[in-house]
Chain A
Amino acid sequence: MNFLLAVSSDKYSGPTLRIGSQIAKSFKAKLTIVYVGPKPKELFAGKVSFARDSLAKWKIYHPGIEVLRWAFNDLQSCGYLNKDKETTFDPINMVEGKDRYRMVLPSRNGQEVDLVLREGEIIDQLRKECNEQNYTISIIGGSKERNMAHDLIQYLPTSVFVMKNVNLKKKYNLIICVDDSSATKRAVRFVAIIAKQMGMSVTLLTVSRNETFGQDYLESAKSASSHLDSLKLSYDQKFISGDPVKTFIELAGEDHIIVMGASTRSAFAKFFLGSKPIKTLQKANCPILIVKGE
């Protein structure tokens, strides 16, 4: 597995990096830390790049390199990366690719860690990165931008983990929204791995707008509980009638991670009408993982 973790600065991305790297470790996944910086206006891009070369001769680097240096130091201080002579951060080791710079680092558990620098509009760049590198999950911090929730879910081809309102001091538990979407089974598998490795409790939540629950919903709930039983994981199972988005958010509060399968609506319908995951991501006050694929 290959996880992408987007960072923006030491000021805002600390908790995202810590929790994101722990989750990548749970999955024994290769972790790629990506910084996407603003792109200079194309008219001046050559002159800016020229000035940056001049700065690099004085060992003053691109601001994105400094963010990646911070991420490297943070991963070292939490033990994710080795503290030895071979594991060092040197901007000279950044290799220029098609439209990205990349540095490969060794990691303690034999897992690979890459540091990637890109420039441009964030969704466009993350989408390009995902399309080129075949990631499983993209982990990103919460954003106050109005359309960010829609754009992340709609345009990134991977599962998306948004570290919204995340706090390192909190003990998080997992709520999985079980419905008839094709991605629910995969979401349950992801939840099982995270719960087992990080010692989180699990709530299986099935919400129906009606008083009765459809056969598809009941079968999905049964399948989810069987999977957790087979792994000997303890869990709580709830069936609630009401508005799904409202129920997810109320039950999750600020100390749960919401996990849900991606909507099966068409891209066109999602663009104009939204979807349960998009609305939940917009309104929730806690981290949320939207799982794509079957």
Chain B
Amino acid sequence: MLINIIFWVTQRKWLIIAFLFGIVLYLFPPPQGLTLNGYRTFVILLISIMLIIFEPIPLPAVAMLILVFQVFFGIASPNEVAASFMTDAVFFIMGSLMMAVAIVSQGLDKRLALGIINITGHHTIRIVTGFVSFCAVLSSFIGEHTVTAMMMPVGLTLVRHSSDDPKKTGKLTLLILFSIAYGSAIGSIGTPSGGGRNVIMLGYLSQFEMGNLSYLQWMKYTYPILLVEIPFAIILLWWTFKPEKKTLDSAVRKLKVQVAKSGKITGRQITSISIFLFIFLGWVFLSPSVGLGIISLFGVVLYLSFGLVEWKEINRNTNWGAIMLFGSAISLGFQMKDTGAAIWVASELIEGLKILTDDIDFIRSFVSIFVTVGLTNFLSSAGTVSVLGPIVLNMGGDSIIIALSTAMASAFAYLTVVASPTCMIIHSSGLVKSSDYLRCGWKMTIMSIIILLMFIHLFWPLST
């Protein structure tokens, strides 16, 4: 019995620390300028961040705890919490996760593999260029983890065909895997459907009545950045992971033979692509009136109705815990705004950073870009936008620019395994060490921040 208690304490130490920390903060009076409910919301936020980072309890439990605390602390009524929990952004995250299952289950990865290697040929540099470019463009529409899930088998098969001895292909493996992961991450900024965090930010913008951006308007701001980043990413990846083999002719030949066995494109695959194109057109033309999430859910309905995927498969591969967590994080974000906690944190941040400079624009950029990049590498990109969104939008300035720069900076998740699903997916192959992320990640981070700052200060003012 005693041993079980000691073991439980050692395994759940972060739960105990988080609660003790919360209780101590709760007993203090609210800081000047912050309402009691705002202070309580801020305490819930800090506890939640600790629980999300260290995971001492399952994520759905964290999600429910956020909702329960809001009611227990008298911050909002049960109906208000329920209403803020389910938004169009949550519908979008739900729908895009389900559509990813439907798309990947069609076996389109083999078609993509054939398409890429037919264009790139057998030179390693051209193959890497193909992987980064293709992953970036595709992930901008269907989401980064879907593309990584489809492209990783292609990349790893190519590596396996290039040598039987893994020791001889260590750098080639890293080059290919990071080309897929970073390519997908770069692409996720391109459109609102590139990542759940983009939709979360759009949701905050419209809910806080700070502006609206259509699908195409978003692309007008972000797609040029995506296209500029691609060549720089290829150079940095090649420079960091100089591969052992400069050509992969026999590997490409073997891959072509393997892929050719899958035969001609099937009716199911054509239907699947057609449905996605239909949904894409819906996002472009209908999202301002019906929302991105509703269109995504309609896409899921179509995939199910045409028998392209079974509900059992969707249910098995959809992380309901993550959906609940994003729902409750967004709900907390709304309370941050309503209770004045967001504006208090924003003004405190600005006041604090005035020690460094009086340039308010610089401070806004610093928080929306540098703090976002820092937090996203520990908390995950979508989690960071959920938490920081209400704060950065209350810092003043052009809310559209702040929203876009924060959403984009949250995609610069190159430094750690836990930064984004793509980083975690390539790590799960067992072929990438945690230290490998730093090797190229810091270069990618600096490059991405410089390009983003150039666009914010030089090009975006021209287009507004």
Of A53-61, A108-116, A185-193, the one with at least 4 CB within 8 A of chain B: A53-61
Chain A binding surface SS class: helix
Q: Which residues on the B side are within 8 Å of A64 (C-beta)?
A: 430
User: Does A46 count as interface, using CB distance less than 8 angstroms?
Assistant: yes
Of B37-45, B152-160, B298-306, the one with at least 4 CB within 8 A of chain A: B152-160
Q: Which residues on the A side are within 8 Å of B418 (C-beta)?
A: 41, 43-44
Q: Is the CB of A50 within 8 A of B149?
A: yes
Contact A54 to B157, CB < 8 A, known contacts A43-B322, A46-B97, A154-B3:
no
Q: Is the CB of B317 within 8 A of A49?
A: yes
A47 to B55, CA, bound (A): 17
Shortest C-beta distance, A127 to chain B (Å), equals 7
Residue of A nearest to B113 (CB): A58
User: A-B pairs with CB below 8 Å: how many?
Assistant: 108
Of B20-28, B83-91, B277-285, B421-429, the one with at least 4 CB within 8 A of chain A: B421-429
Q: Which residues on the A side are within 8 Å of B321 (C-beta)?
A: 42, 46
A127 to B11, CA, bound (A): 12
User: Does A63 count as interface, using CB distance less than 8 angstroms?
Assistant: yes
Selected from B11, B55, B153, B156, the residue in CB contact (under 8 A) with A42 is B55
User: Does A66 count as interface, using CB distance less than 8 angstroms?
Assistant: yes
Chain A interface size band reads 20 to 34
A9 to B256, CA, bound (A): 32
Q: Is the CB of A55 within 8 A of B145?
A: no
Q: Which residues on the B side are within 8 Å of A155 (C-beta)?
A: 3, 7
User: Does A45 count as interface, using CB distance less than 8 angstroms?
Assistant: yes
Q: Is the CB of A52 within 8 A of B428?
A: yes
A251 to B128, CA, bound (A): 58
Encoded as 1 (CB less than 8 Å from any A CB) or 0, chain B from 139 to 171 comes to 000000100111011101100100000000000
Shortest C-beta distance, B303 to chain A (Å), equals 15
User: Does A267 count as interface, using CB distance less than 8 angstroms?
Assistant: yes
Selected from B145, B153, B160, the residue in CB contact (under 8 A) with A57 is B153
Residue of B nearest to A119 (CB): B428
A48 to B52, CA, bound (A): 18
User: Does B109 count as interface, using CB distance less than 8 angstroms?
Assistant: yes
Q: Is the CB of A54 within 8 A of B149?
A: yes
Selected from B11, B150, B424, B429, the residue in CB contact (under 8 A) with A44 is B424
Q: Which residues on the B side are within 8 Å of A45 (C-beta)?
A: 319
Shortest C-beta distance, A143 to chain B (Å), equals 16
Selected from B156, B380, B427, B431, the residue in CB contact (under 8 A) with A58 is B156
21 residue pairs bridging A and B, Cβ less than 8 Å apart: A41-B55, A41-B417, A41-B424, A43-B322, A43-B380, A44-B145, A44-B418, A44-B420, A44-B424, A47-B149, A48-B425, A50-B100, A50-B145, A50-B149, A50-B317, A54-B150, A60-B153, A60-B429, A66-B430, A155-B7, A271-B6
Q: Closest 3 interchain pairs by CB? A: A63-B430, A46-B319, A58-B153
